Amino acid sequence: MVSQCESVVRSPIVTAPPDEAAAVVDVVCLGESMVTFLPSRPGRLADVPSFGRGIGGAESNVACALAAAGHRARWVGRVGADGFGDHLVEAVAAYGVDTSAVQRDPHRPTGIYFRTATDRDADGFEVVYYRAGSAASAMSHRNMPLDELAAGRVLHLSGITAALSADCLALMRTLTARRPGRPLVSFDVNHRAHLWHEAEGPRVLLDLARGADLVFVGEDEAQAAWGVRGAAEIRRALPEPDVLVVKQGAAGATAFTREPTATDTVTTVPALRVDVVAPVGAGDAFAAGFLSATLRGLPVRERIRHGHLMAAAALTVPGDLGTPPPRAHADRLAALDADAWGTLRLGPGWTDVTQPKGAADQEVRTP
């Protein structure tokens, strides 16, 4: 996969005429984005007196993070011709994301959801979706712009889309089918058991992942969905992707990269210590950081480290989307030796390098 990633980065795009090069998109992200209502305080949904409005959606989160990091990102989806749809398109576009291919459906609503303030995997976490029959659930290979989806250097998808409807699943099967000339297909498994109405959900996700070039999966979700334990066993269950990234929570992440000899190189990078403000958005941010470094042709270790750094940017803010660190700052941290990387501790405000000289170093190196 190292050679394939390099071919993506070193494509003829860089020598195209200026007007043509300006139209090239680095990453196209397809999926449902919803308006999310965030609680004003911790506790059961029944006890929360008020909610703040935000946006949520795995794929649009990735697009926003990549655009904020300086990449050309496009989000493709469907929203209702309603006020919530207006808000979503405007909010995503405000990050610098190209939303020109987002479709508006006059007959179906924009999806919304409410959630508690705790982590998705924590006891007491609640989320209530109002997305059945949403505009996004009507996405299909018949109404989505397939040419625009294939126009980026990378097409990023997630398993959430496959669970929305039979038409969405058919679209995902089309996009993950291996064929000559397609962009690099990135797939985040994103297993959400409550979205699947049939027991075949885990098998469907495994099939879709096998068609991708780059796959992100959490060690915990692989166990829940497929009954496999540990990074090595997950790789045995998913031998097809050129790159498989297994996210291991506080332990870090392991990437399996296939070399031309068809043997894997295994790279493990420990996670950073982070003073968490809100335990949401880290998975999408990690994918964005890894994809950003992949587009730049960085070594695998640095790709994982950029994933960890982008995740830390999300974890140290209240919402799903953090402000990425300036590229030079992230590159400097990603290049640290193992001992220095192990001493990093990131807290709120760590991405702000406008503070007095030396203050940022002190902040991220606090034991």
Strand partners, 36: 54, 113
Give the distance from CA 56 to its chain's centroid: 12
Q: Using alpha carbons only, give the angle 298, 256, 157 rounded to the nearest 5 degrees.
A: 75
E strands, the chain, in order:
25-30, 34-39, 51-56, 73-76, 78-80, 103-105, 112-115, 127-130, 152-158, 184-188, 214-218, 243-247, 253-258, 264-269, 273-274, 345-346
Structure tokens at 23: 């139209």
Give the integer Cα–Cα distance in Å for 244 and 235.
Answer: 7
* Annotation marks residue 284 as catalytic: yes
- Active-site residue (options: 220, 284, 331, 339): 284
Residue 140 one-letter amino acid: S
Kindly state the DSSP code that residue 238 receives in the 8-state scheme.
-
CA distance 85 to 76: 13
Burial of residue 158 (number of CB atoms within 10 Å: 0-12, 13-18, 19+): buried
Strand partners, 246: 217, 254
Q: Which H or E element spans position 306? A: helix 300-315
SS3 318: coil
Residues 6+ apart with CB under 8 A from 162: 168, 169, 172, 204, 205, 208
| Residues with a known catalytic role | 284
